[in-house]
Amino acid sequence: MPYLSGDEAVRELRRTLCNPHVQADPARYRAAVMRVIRHMSQGAEVSSLFAEMVKAGAAADLAQKKLSWLFVQAQAPRQPQLALLAVNSLRRDCAHPSPAVRGLALRSMCGLRIPGIQEYLQQPLLNGLRDKASYVRRAAVLGCAKMLKLQGDCEVDGALVNELYSLLRDQDPIVVVNCLRALEEILKKEGGVVINKPIAHHLLNRMADLDQWGQSEVLTFLLRYKPRSEEELFDILNLLDGYLKSSSTSVVMAATKLFLVLAREYPHVQADVLVRVKGPLLSACTSESRELCFTALCHVRQILGSLPGHFSSHYKKFFCSYSEPHYIKCQKMEVLCELVNDENVQQVLEELKGYCTDVSVELAQGAIFAIGNIARTYTEPCVAILTELLGLQQEHVTSAVVQVFRDLIWLCPQCTDAVCRALPGCEDAIQDSEGKQALIWLLGAHGEKVPNAPYVLEDFVENVKSELFPAVKMELLTALVRLFLSRPAECQDMLGRLLHYCIEEEMDMAVRDRGLFYYRLLQSGVEEVKRILCSPKSDPSLGLLEDQTERSVNTWASEFNTLAPVYGRERWALITAQQPVEPSYACPPCPDPKGSGTESLISEGSKEVLEVHPDTGSLTLVPDLYVTAEQFEKTWLSLDASCHLSLPWCGAVHPDAIQTALHVVHIQTIAMSKAGAQPWKAYLSAQDDTGCLFLTELLLETADSEMKVLVKQSEAKPEALQAFLLVLRTVIGAVGSLES
C-alpha cells in the first residue's frame, strides 16, 4: 500500500472496512481492523471509523471482536452518542453460547465510560454473576465494581452486595478473590469488606486452591479479623504456617505480617516467625529483580531496628556486587553497619574500604560515612582506615573523611589525638562547602593540637572575598575566635582582618551579623568570650543511646509489607497526609445551619478566621468557637455520620499535645479521656465561615493501633468535609509521629 497522508489513510481504511469482499474474507477483515488499531496507537485521528468498527465487532472471529471493542472503548468518551450503537451488539454477545464471547462483552460494556451506560449494564451483570462459566463470573464480578464507580455517589444496591457476598463461596478461586476486591471497592465508603468469623474460616480453608496472587490478597484481607480466643488464634496460625515457606515472596511477606499482627501479645511467636522468614528475605535480597531486592533490604533494616544482629551470621549476603545499581549498594551498606560485631568487623571494614575508591562519588562517600558509623563502636581500626584514605588525595574522599572526623571527635573524644595528627595537608584537597566547614570546625575546636592550624585558617582568611558559601565564612569566624583564645599571638592579626571584612565589606547579612556579634563579644573581655564559647558541652553518649534504642516489633508490625519501610516512616506519613482524602459521604437530610438545631452553637465572640489551604480545596475555620457539652450531645444525636476513617497511630496518647495541636488549627476539644485510658476517646467541634459544623469523635481502642475517626457534618458539603479531614489527618499524623 503506498504512503498516504492522515485523511487519505482514513478514507482508504473506511473503503476497506466497507468492502463486501473484505468482509467475506475473515483474514483480510481482521487485517483491516488491525491497521485501524495500529493507526490509533500511533496517535492518528480515526474516530470517524467508529461505525465501521462497531460493525466489525459483530463478526464471529473472537480476535477481531477484541480489537473492535478495544477501539470502541478508547473512542467512546469522545463520541458518547455513537457509543450507544455498540450497546446492542454487546448485549447480544452477552447471550452468546461461547463463554469467551460473553466474558469479553461484559468487560467491554463495563469499559464504556459514557453517561447512562449503567441502566444497560445491570441485567447483563446480574446474569453474568449467575453464569455457569467461571470466566464470565470473573468478568461480571469486576464489572460490578466498575459499574458502581460510574454511578458516583449514588446509593449502593444492597441486593448486588449480597450477591457478591454469596459468591465468596464460589467454586472458582479467582471469582472468590475478585469478589473480595470488588466488595472492597464498592463498600469503600463504609469501610470496606467485612471479614467475620464464617468468612475468615472459609477463606482460610480455600487458601490451598488459590494462586500466589490470590493467597497474598486473602492474607491481606484476613488482617481485619480478630480471633475470639487464644485457641482460635493458634488454630489460624497453624493453618498459615506453611505459607511462611512459600516460593512467592509476596505470599511470605503477607503471611509474616499476618503472624506479627495476630501475635501482638506473644513476642516469642513474633520472634520465631522473624527467624523463619530469614531465609526467604535473604533470597529476596539477592534476587535478580532490583525492585524486589531493594524492598527486601528495606524490610531487613526494619527488622534490625527491633532485633539487632538478626542477620549477622549472613553478613556476606549483603556485600555489594559490581553490577548492582547505586541505590541497592547504599541500602546494603546501611545493613552492614547494623550487622557489625566482634567476629566480622575486620571483614566488613575491608569490604567497605574497597567501596571507598568506587568511581561513583556518592557511593564512595557513602562507604566512608558507613565506616564512620562503625567507628562509634570500633574506633581504632576505623580511624586507621580513614587516615589511610587521606593519602589518596582525592577531593571527594578527603572531604567525606574530614566530615566523619568532625562527627567522630565529638562522639568519641578518645580519638582526638589521632584525628589531629591526620589533619595536616587536608586543606589542599577540599573544595566543597561541607568539607571546608568540617575542617574549619576541627581546626577551631582543637587547633591547639594541630601545629599549622593558624596558618591553614590564614589561607581561608586571605581567600574569604572569593568564598562562595556564607556558611563557610560564618564557620571561619567562630573557629578563628575559638583558636584565638588558645593561640592569641598567632591569630590576633588575621582575626582583626576577618572581622573588618565581615563588618565593612560583606554583603550577606547573616555573616555580617555574626561578625558584629563576635566584635562586641570581644569588647566585653576574653573571659566573657571563654565563658560563652567554651561552656560545658552536652554529653555525647546521649546521642549514642538514642541511636541504639530498640523498638518493639508491635511498633512497626502494621507497616510491614507496605511502602512505609521503603519511604521511611516520616516521609511516608508526609506523603499520605498530602494525598487527597476520599471519605464516605452520607446523604442525610441537611438541617438548616441557621435553625434552632445549631444556632446556639455559634458563639457571639470574635469572628476572626484562620485560612487553611490544603491541596483539596480551601477551608476557613472560625476560631474561639464555644460549644458546651450539652449542645454538642444534642447536635451529635441529631446528625447522621458523614465519614469514617482509620488513621495510623503508634505509642501512647498524650492528650495535652493533641489538644494543643488541634487548638492551633481552631478545632475545639469538647471532651477527652485521660492519658492511659483504654479505650481512649475525644470529641471535637469546628465550624467554617459558612456556618457548617464539623463534629468529630476520635477512638483509640488500644495502644499501637489505628485511630478511628467519625465525622458528622451539619451540611452535606463534600469539598469542605474533604478539606477538614485533610487538616485533621495532618494534625493527628504530626502528633502521632512525635509520640512514637
> What is the DSSP track for 88-131?
HHHHHHTT-S-HHHHHHHHHHHHT---TTTHHHHHHHHHHHHT-
Q: How confident is the model at residue 704 (pLDDT cuts 50, 70, 90)?
A: low
Selected residue with higher pLDDT from 604 and 740: 740
Cβ 120 vs Cβ 108: under 8 Å: no
Cβ 447 vs Cβ 487: under 8 Å: yes
Give the model confidence (pLDDT) of 353-384 as tens digits.
999 999 899 999 999 999 999 999 999 999 99
Question: Is the model's pLDDT at 608 over the cut of 50?
Answer: no
Find residue 685's DSSP bridge partners.
668, 695
CA–CA dist 424, 633 (Å, integer): 74
Q: 288: part of which helix (H) or strand (E)? A: none
User: What are 273's three cell numbers?
Assistant: 516467625
* pLDDT score, position 50: 82
Q: Is it true that the peptide bond before 679 is cis, omega within 30 degrees of 0? A: yes
CA–CA dist 682, 725 (Å, integer): 16
User: What are 265's three cell numbers?
Assistant: 501479645
Cβ 502 vs Cβ 522: under 8 Å: no
CA–CA dist 587, 739 (Å, integer): 36
Q: How many beta carbons lie within 10 A of that of residue 615, not counting itself?
A: 12
Selected residue with higher pLDDT from 619 and 471: 471
* Beta strands at 680-687 and 641-648: parallel, antiparallel or unpaired: unpaired
Average pLDDT, the chain: 84
Q: How confident is the model at residue 218 (pLDDT cuts 50, 70, 90)?
A: very high
- Edge-to-edge strands, sheet with 706-713: 641-648, 706-713, 693-700, 680-687, 668-672
* pLDDT score, position 180: 93
Q: How confident is the model at residue 738 (pLDDT cuts 50, 70, 90)?
A: low
Per-domain boundaries in the chain: 569-739
DSSP category for residue 684: E
Q: How confident is the model at residue 513 (pLDDT cuts 50, 70, 90)?
A: very high
Find residue 711's DSSP bridge partners.
643, 696
Question: Is the model's pLDDT at 261 over the cut of 90?
Answer: yes
* pLDDT score, position 581: 44
Helix, strand, coil distribution of the chain in percent, nearest 5: 65, 5, 30
Question: Is the model's pLDDT at 590 over the cut of 70?
Answer: no
Give the model confidence (pLDDT) of 275-325 as tens digits.
999 999 999 998 899 999 999 999 999 999 888 888 999 999 999 988 899
* pLDDT score, position 585: 31
Q: How many beta carbons lie within 10 A of that of residue 583, not counting itself?
A: 19
Q: Which amino acid is at 8?
A: E
Tell me the C-alpha to C-alpha distance, in Å, between residue 242 and each of 154, 201, 211, 561. 43, 16, 14, 18
Q: Reduce the secondary structure of 307-319 to three states and give it as a string.
A: CCCCCHHHHHHHC
User: What are 123's three cell numbers?
Assistant: 441485567
Question: Is the model's pLDDT at 549 over the cut of 50?
Answer: no
* pLDDT score, position 609: 33
Question: Is the model's pLDDT at 56 over the cut of 60?
Answer: yes
Give the model confidence (pLDDT) of 22-50 as tens digits.
888 888 888 988 888 888 888 888 888 88
Cβ 421 vs Cβ 388: under 8 Å: no
Q: Is 641 left (phi over 0), alpha (psi -120 to 50) or beta?
A: beta
Residues 182, 184, 188, 193, Cα dihedral to 10°: 130
User: What are 341's three cell numbers?
Assistant: 560485631
User: What are 721's three cell numbers?
Assistant: 468535609
CA–CA dist 254, 218 (Å, integer): 9
For the whole model, what pTM was predicted? 0.69
Rounded mean pLDDT, 19-24: 86
Q: Which amino acid is at 371?
A: I
* pLDDT score, position 141: 92
Q: 212: which residues sit within 8 A by CB, 6+ positions away?
A: 246, 247, 248, 250, 251
Per cent of the chain over pLDDT 70 is 90
Tell me the C-alpha to C-alpha distance, in Å, between residue 303 and each of 82, 251, 299, 300. 57, 18, 6, 5
* pLDDT score, position 578: 59
Q: Which amino acid is at 62?
A: L
Q: How confident is the model at residue 734 (pLDDT cuts 50, 70, 90)?
A: confident
**CATH: 3.40.50.880, 3.30.310.10, 3.40.50.150, 3.40.366.10. Which one for 569-739?**
3.30.310.10
* pLDDT score, position 243: 92
DSSP category for residue 586: -
Alpha helices in 361-432 (DSSP H): 361-374, 379-390, 395-411, 416-422
Cβ 306 vs Cβ 556: under 8 Å: yes
Tell me the C-alpha to C-alpha distance, in Å, between residue 521 and each of 78, 526, 529. 74, 8, 6
